[in-house]
Chain A
């Protein structure tokens, strides 16, 4: 669905506008927004997922840049506007995906290593030495895990022939996808800006959360030369102007004015600007982020500490992050592997044909338990089965699994931060599931709110860029744009909630220790 929305009454035909690029895991998109935060036009293009070996995932960064050029040009064309109508362009991106390129030729030295890629598992264990995965947690907020960019860069330096020498000679640049897109937008080999923003830098394991600078000691321990790292800037400021190339002709001179990792951009787009405000994005997996204000909160419950955003010279805003590996993908599993439904939306129809879960609980620990347990030895369990249970009860249990996992992350956030969740802002594909949203509200015992613009990720990047160039004055302007499309309020008896939660936790316990000899 890439049509421009045409229903407009409150006209959005008149500029000025802000454009946002979302360089995502499966596709690159560009959306043009008007001053009210409404979508004017969209274009999107998928890129190839390259799987050289089991567990390895790569992207061709040259293909990605070409796609970005195309979707930007096409979104501008669909909106029927010109460079004078666009005040700034912002960027949001798949986080942690790592690229090294030659600054003289602009050529990537290798495919980008995607965040899901697990080739650095062994390297991360080795880097943990006798301390284990929390070796750099106090400085970076992250455990040593294969997602993060620093170890991926080290892998490239170790495995691409002659690369370390070229890097030490200063010919090689490192970047996450924000850096790659900004460098190319601002001129590439002809003076492109080599920068990244604090949110993306906070996913490298190389940045110190307290100073917001590269940590020389950690960089040395991981084996990444400081010389190739980009300059760390705020999330909302003018990094440079669009110059050269195909887009230079079309949009030359437009300020490139924001960068935010995708989940942080969604937090920003959902206008979670106050401490304690949280958003959760329900897709294949789920990412929940809570604004913790100016405080860096060390997690003792298995959450990540990360930078939420930083606007210009303002103080940085930090966040706690919890992710759930299997949510939407559990519904897909019911459809594709079990064949119990024919479309994802049917899970709700099936679940609604019964009153409750019939005593069944489904813990989808398909590749172990993540936050807050971190038990790789766990495997999925359906507990509480009796002769009475039907596929409809299982459908309920599937939806409840997503809601309970959210509750567990929310509890961990409260435990770490001391802040109670007052309301949860949701986005992502699964928010069209009314039963799930009601169940979520029931289990959290808090209101669940869906905003009117579903594209919160792109919107966040547009908001940050607009703030940087004065298109919007402050975050209050942005809050005023936020519209509630739906709200679910808790309707569950506290007693039932407590009893059900207890049963869920019992089911979770039964998943642990299934694999007897991890590794």
Chain B
């Protein structure tokens, strides 16, 4: 067995020391209980504090467990909270791009559509909330696969079916697309899932930079592309929207 990392062991011991009831301890108490030099103990405490696992009381200077510990394991972003936060920004994206907007999250082996804004024309459209999209070929799916490791492994394990003759099914080619996605900050799907349909999507991050979903526009390839390329201003609009929602989640208090 490889050697354990001493500072992690010490950090774990500190957390145990602070746990159990509402305990607040001073630096010297902590250092002496664990048989550490004050400087060593302080360095570890400061790191834990930065990560939010430990908080220091302003008045007494004593340490206690931080709120981040409570969040670990118990919290995930509720998808309905995500929709509520995204509402104004996705409306604006639909309005400015003239296309329909979808917001998707990873669910089992695919993308679950949790929010849908109609294309702003008078055509008859059906709300697609609750629908599933494949991970390997849609813009939303590629974004999730590129940024969320769980989505990534799901995509690798899936059978990556060909929906059109442009669908990329080959593993290496797929991984390459994900690399490009991460490098550019967005993913595209030009007739890879549906004939005649293109989409662009970008990632939404929460305040801890965790990927929580993807937002994108979908529409006729003739409108989204010009000279065979996705229109740059549409890509910019999608990315602006994703950033705005991310900012909103970051500003949100727990």
Interface residues of A (CB under 8 A from B): 1, 3, 5-10, 36, 38-39, 343-349, 429, 431-434, 452-454, 483-488
Task: Say yes or no for B83: interface residue by CB 8 A criterion.
Answer: yes
Taking A7-B97, A483-B95, A485-B120 as given, write out 15 further A-B residue pairs in contact, using a Cβ cutoff of 8 Å, ordered by the A residue number.
Answer: A5-B244, A6-B240, A7-B237, A10-B95, A343-B81, A431-B87, A432-B83, A433-B84, A452-B91, A452-B120, A483-B118, A484-B118, A484-B120, A485-B91, A488-B127
B78, B79, B248, most chain A CB atoms within 10 A = B78
Which residues of the partner chain B approach A432 to less than 8 Å between Cβ atoms? 80, 83-84, 87
Q: Tell me, in angstroms, the Cα distance from A429 to B85 when the chains sit together.
A: 10
Q: Measured between C-beta atoms, what is the minimum distance from B100 to chain A in Å?
A: 10
The residue that B81 contacts in the complex, of A38, A346, A454, A484, with Cβ under 8 A, is A346
Task: Say yes or no for B19: interface residue by CB 8 A criterion.
Answer: no
Smallest Cβ-Cβ distance to A9: which chain B residue: B96
Tell whether, in the assembled complex, residue B241 and residue A7 are in contact, meaning their CB atoms are under 8 Å apart.
Answer: yes
B99-134 Cβ-contact flags toward A at 8 Å (1 or 0): 000000000000000011110101001010100000
Which residues of the partner chain A approach B87 to less than 8 Å between Cβ atoms? 431-432, 454
Q: Tell me, in angstroms, the Cα distance from A202 to B251 when the chains sit together.
A: 41
Task: Say yes or no for B89: interface residue by CB 8 A criterion.
Answer: yes
Known: A38-B95, A452-B91, A452-B94. A433 touches B80 (CB 8 A): yes
Q: Measured between C-beta atoms, what is the minimum distance from A16 to chain B in Å?
A: 19
The residue that A485 contacts in the complex, of B78, B97, B118, with Cβ under 8 A, is B118
Which residues of the partner chain A approach B91 to less than 8 Å between Cβ atoms? 452-454, 485
Q: Tell me, in angstroms, the Cα distance from A486 to B127 when the chains sit together.
A: 7
Q: Tell me, in angstroms, the Cα distance from A453 to B117 when the chains sit together.
A: 12
Task: Say yes or no for B211: interface residue by CB 8 A criterion.
Answer: no
Q: Measured between C-beta atoms, what is the minimum distance from B120 to chain A in Å?
A: 4
The residue that A486 contacts in the complex, of B98, B116, B122, B240, with Cβ under 8 A, is B116
Task: Say yes or no for B92: interface residue by CB 8 A criterion.
Answer: yes
Task: Say yes or no for B172: interface residue by CB 8 A criterion.
Answer: no
Q: State how many residues of chain B have any CB contact under 8 Å with chain A.
A: 34
Interface residues of B (CB under 8 A from A): 78-81, 83-84, 87-89, 91-98, 115-118, 120, 122, 125, 127, 129, 233-234, 236-237, 240-241, 244, 248
Which residues of the partner chain B approach A488 to less than 8 Å between Cβ atoms? 127
Known: A7-B92, A7-B93, A433-B80. A483 touches B120 (CB 8 A): yes
Tell whether, in the assembled complex, residue B248 and residue A345 are in contact, meaning their CB atoms are under 8 Å apart.
Answer: no
Known: A7-B241, A10-B95. A487 touches B89 (CB 8 A): no
Interface Cβ pair total, 8 Å cutoff:
93
Q: Tell me, in angstroms, the Cα distance from A431 to B241 when the chains sit together.
A: 20
Q: Measured between C-beta atoms, what is the minimum distance from A481 to chain B in Å?
A: 10
Which residues of the partner chain B approach A486 to less than 8 Å between Cβ atoms? 116-118, 127
Which residues of the partner chain A approach B248 to less than 8 Å between Cβ atoms? 1
Tell whether, in the assembled complex, residue A345 and residue B83 are in contact, meaning their CB atoms are under 8 Å apart.
Answer: yes
Tell whether, in the assembled complex, residue B81 and residue A345 are in contact, meaning their CB atoms are under 8 Å apart.
Answer: yes
Smallest Cβ-Cβ distance to B88: which chain A residue: A454
Smallest Cβ-Cβ distance to A435: which chain B residue: B80
Which residues of the partner chain A approach B117 to less than 8 Å between Cβ atoms? 452, 485-486
The residue that A3 contacts in the complex, of B80, B120, B244, with Cβ under 8 A, is B244
The residue that B88 contacts in the complex, of A1, A347, A349, with Cβ under 8 A, is A1
Q: Tell me, in angstroms, the Cα distance from A486 to B96 when the chains sit together.
A: 16
Tell whether, in the assembled complex, residue B79 and residue A349 are in contact, meaning their CB atoms are under 8 Å apart.
Answer: yes
Tell whether, in the assembled complex, residue A487 and residue B127 are in contact, meaning their CB atoms are under 8 Å apart.
Answer: yes
Q: Tell me, in angstroms, the Cα distance from A6 to B93 when the chains sit together.
A: 9
Q: Tell me, in angstroms, the Cα distance from A348 to B81 when the chains sit together.
A: 9
Q: Measured between C-beta atoms, what is the minimum distance from B132 to chain A in Å?
A: 16
Smallest Cβ-Cβ distance to B121: which chain A residue: A483
Smallest Cβ-Cβ distance to A344: which chain B residue: B84
28 contacts between A and B (CB under 8 A): A1-B88, A5-B88, A5-B89, A7-B240, A8-B96, A8-B237, A9-B97, A9-B98, A9-B233, A10-B95, A10-B96, A343-B78, A346-B78, A348-B80, A429-B84, A431-B87, A432-B84, A432-B87, A434-B115, A434-B129, A454-B88, A454-B91, A483-B94, A485-B91, A485-B94, A485-B120, A486-B116, A486-B117
Smallest Cβ-Cβ distance to A429: which chain B residue: B84
Q: Tell me, in angstroms, the Cα distance from A347 to B87 when the chains sit together.
A: 17
Q: Measured between C-beta atoms, what is the minimum distance from B178 to chain A in Å?
A: 25
Known: A1-B248, A7-B89, A8-B237. A434 touches B83 (CB 8 A): yes
The residue that A9 contacts in the complex, of B81, B84, B237, with Cβ under 8 A, is B237
Which residues of the partner chain A approach B237 to less than 8 Å between Cβ atoms? 7-9
Q: Tell me, in angstroms, the Cα distance from A38 to B91 when the chains sit together.
A: 10
Smallest Cβ-Cβ distance to B98: which chain A residue: A10
Which residues of the partner chain A approach B79 to less than 8 Å between Cβ atoms? 349
